[in-house]
Chains A and B, each alone.
Chain A
Amino acid sequence: MKPEKAQLVVDGLKEAGVDFTAGVPDAQFIQVYKMLEADPDIRYVGTANEAEAAGVGYGAWFGGKKPALILATSGLLVATYHLARINILHEVPLLVVIPYRGDIGDPRWMGLYKKTTEPGLNAMDIPYRVVSRSSDIVRTIKECNESARAWLRCIAVILNEEALW
């Protein structure tokens, strides 16, 4: 991933007012995690797994933070139990940002995530947008977070390889 593309993700989070992030580092998004950890305006908490990250983000929202989870497609699977509770039962807004490993065009053995990512979000009743152009990254993250906070719902932004590479 080129640093300037990672910067666009961080810029989008800042434009959205996100000030608290949690997740588990992933090879596809490692530059984003490193930038967040170094950024003085956005608190990044590295958790032991993605379900823990969802719980931490949920608690941070009640403390007045504007939280986002930065999750790999595999991590979304780990987070599903807590995310489903948070979105459907509690109706607490968490922005979920996901690099789309396993989308069509991915040359690695990651096709399983095509079967789990979007259907999984649909099953959890989490609306999402797929971003395919890097020029749309900042605007889409901002819009999705605005809707999440207004609707009191989790919303996901999925960034595919065309947008990130």
Chain B
Amino acid sequence: MVARLELIKELASIVPPDVLVVTSIGNNSYFWAELTDREATLFHSTLGMCTPAAFGLAMALPRRRVLALDSDGNLILNLGVLGTIANENPTNLTVLVMDNGNYLGSHKKEPGMRTASGGKLKLQEVAKGCGIVSSHVIQDVATFSTTIKSALKSDGPHFIRAQVEALDTERPPKTKHVLDPRENKYQFAKYIERTEGVQILGGGLGNFG
């Protein structure tokens, strides 16, 4: 087992700035916001929405690397998305799950309640069974780093289950204003417009769409 904070620190040091990162609500978003300063992040995807949103983004921008920074409770709500991903085969998508086996463990001083993956469910086996061939489980920083680097350089889709401690006893200091969902929407959409040459915003003048 390893602390979520250690893995997110490592992730922040190895993910290239142009990789689009979609983060689940809670500490995945807050830690990532504290430890990075990048426009290419879509924060605050609620339960069941993180990996689907990253998948939709990957489908829309097939030449761009997309990373879902998801969590076990979040993914399990919409676990069927792994089957959808396998069939659509977005080669630019990596799904990384910070699996603490716990609901609410991420921001409490004692564990909340067990998720299915905190019991018998092995997410990496589910992903493999769904048809995602590149499916991994890691428990230490060194393997994590190697696996992420490889995934971001090779054709996917990739699935990585990172088994992390149930509680986030280590946290980064709160130093930043974390963007709210609407601020983040405009920032991220403008970043995509600028780097991909697509129009996302700007309707309402009667000549759009």
Contact = CB atoms under 8 A, between A and B. Distances in A.
B181 A55 contact: no
Contact of B56 (A63, A66, A85, A91): A63
A34 to B, nearest CB: 17
B53 interface: yes
Given A16-B209, A62-B188, A91-B185, A55 B48 contact: yes
A139 to B, nearest CB: 14
A59 B209 contact: no
- Sorting the interface of chain A by its residue count into under 10, 10 to 19, 20 to 34 or 35 or more gives 35 or more
B200 A56 contact: no
Contacts of A65: 56, 60
A46 B111 CA distance: 36
Interface in B36-50: 42, 45-50
B192 interface: yes
A37 B50 CA distance: 25
Nearest to A47: B84
A153 B49 CA distance: 18
Contacts, number: 139
B156 to A, nearest CB: 16
A97 B16 CA distance: 38
B166 interface: no
B197 to A, nearest CB: 9
Contacts of B53: 55-56, 58-59, 62
B185 to A, nearest CB: 6
Contact of B185 (A20, A55, A90, A145): A90
A85 B204 contact: no
Contacts of A55: 45, 48-53, 55-56, 78, 81
7 contacts: A17-B209, A47-B80, A52-B78, A56-B84, A59-B56, A59-B57, A150-B203
